[in-house]
Chain A
Amino acid sequence: QLQLQESGPGLVKPSETLSLTCTVSRGSLSGGTDYWGWIRQAPGQGLEWIGTIYYDGTAYHAASLKGRLTMSIDRSKNQFSLKLTSVTVADTAVYYCARNENWFDSWGQGTLVTVSS
């Protein structure tokens, strides 16, 4: 069964860049045609889609984050990543990566990223 695992710093200072990586195991990005997504959840709040990347690197972003969000994919490492620049306290959330078959059928456990000085 496909497994995903987020990794990255749990604390980021305001105005700095949040960087997260999702490693896929028991499955492969290489040669696949899947989409891979990022979803976040602010404390006590609902789910917010933030972006999706296709296996060929084509990326789609939430409009609210455009200009700050960059996504990439490294099929040789079975990883995909996000970078969110100029973070504020409003970016504090649990960040999930997931396989994106339109619906999200396999999720990472999530990683809490806190934006604080």
Chain B
Amino acid sequence: EIVMTQSPATLSVSLGERATLSCRASQSISSDLAWYQQKPGQAPRLLIYRASIRATGIPARFSGSGSGTEFTLTISSLQSEDFAIYYCQQYSIWPPYTFGGGTKVEIK
């Protein structure tokens, strides 16, 4: 099973600042990685797939990069609606699909 590790667990950021979230895979997953955003009481929302492709309707301030074992989600200028928990998920080798433990982006 591929283990996904996200860091940091919590990221404190001011409005308008840049946020950089990391996700590491326990073995190479090529670019088979997705990112999700989850707000309290809501289902996760797909942001990024294939490591860097924005899903339909996702603002350009969200960008993904990386391949192999190291991945990054960048939010270029945080808006109030971006404070949430972010999860990465690998789909390179499944079953099982595996998710990271999440990074909570909170207001500084």
With A and B bound together, what is the CA distance between A46 and B5 in angstroms?
12
Closest to A62 in B: B96
Interface footprint category on A: 20 to 34
Q: Does A75 contact B (CB under 8 A)?
A: no
> Which residue among A49, A96, A102, A103 has the maximum number of chain B CB atoms within 10 Å of its CB?
A103
With A and B bound together, what is the CA distance between A46 and B98 in angstroms?
11
B83 / chain A contacts, CB cutoff of 8 Å: none
With A and B bound together, what is the CA distance between A47 and B43 in angstroms?
10
With A and B bound together, what is the CA distance between A35 and B5 in angstroms?
26
Mark interface residues in A83-115 (1 if CB within 8 Å of B CB, else 0): 000000000000010000111110111100000
Mark interface residues in B25-66 (1 if CB within 8 Å of A CB, else 0): 000000010101000001111100100000100000000000
B1 / chain A contacts, CB cutoff of 8 Å: 63
Q: A47-B44, A47-B87 are in contact. Are A63 and B95 (CB under 8 A)?
A: yes
Closest to A4 in B: B43
Majority secondary structure, B binding face: loop
Chain A residues 29-65 with CB under 8 Å of chain B are 37, 39, 46-49, 52, 60-63
Closest to A60 in B: B95
Q: Is the CB of A48 within 8 A of B99?
A: yes
Closest to B6 in A: A46
With A and B bound together, what is the CA distance between A61 and B45 in angstroms?
23
Q: Is the CB of B94 within 8 A of A60?
A: yes
The chain B residues found within 8 Å of chain A, CB to CB, are: 1, 32, 34, 36, 42-46, 49, 55, 87, 89, 91, 94-102
18 contacts between A and B (CB under 8 A): A46-B87, A46-B99, A47-B36, A49-B95, A49-B98, A49-B99, A52-B94, A60-B95, A63-B96, A96-B43, A102-B49, A102-B94, A103-B34, A103-B91, A105-B55, A107-B44, A107-B45, A108-B43
List 6 other contacts, CB 8 Å, given A46-B100, A109-B42: A49-B95, A102-B32, A103-B34, A103-B49, A107-B43, A107-B44
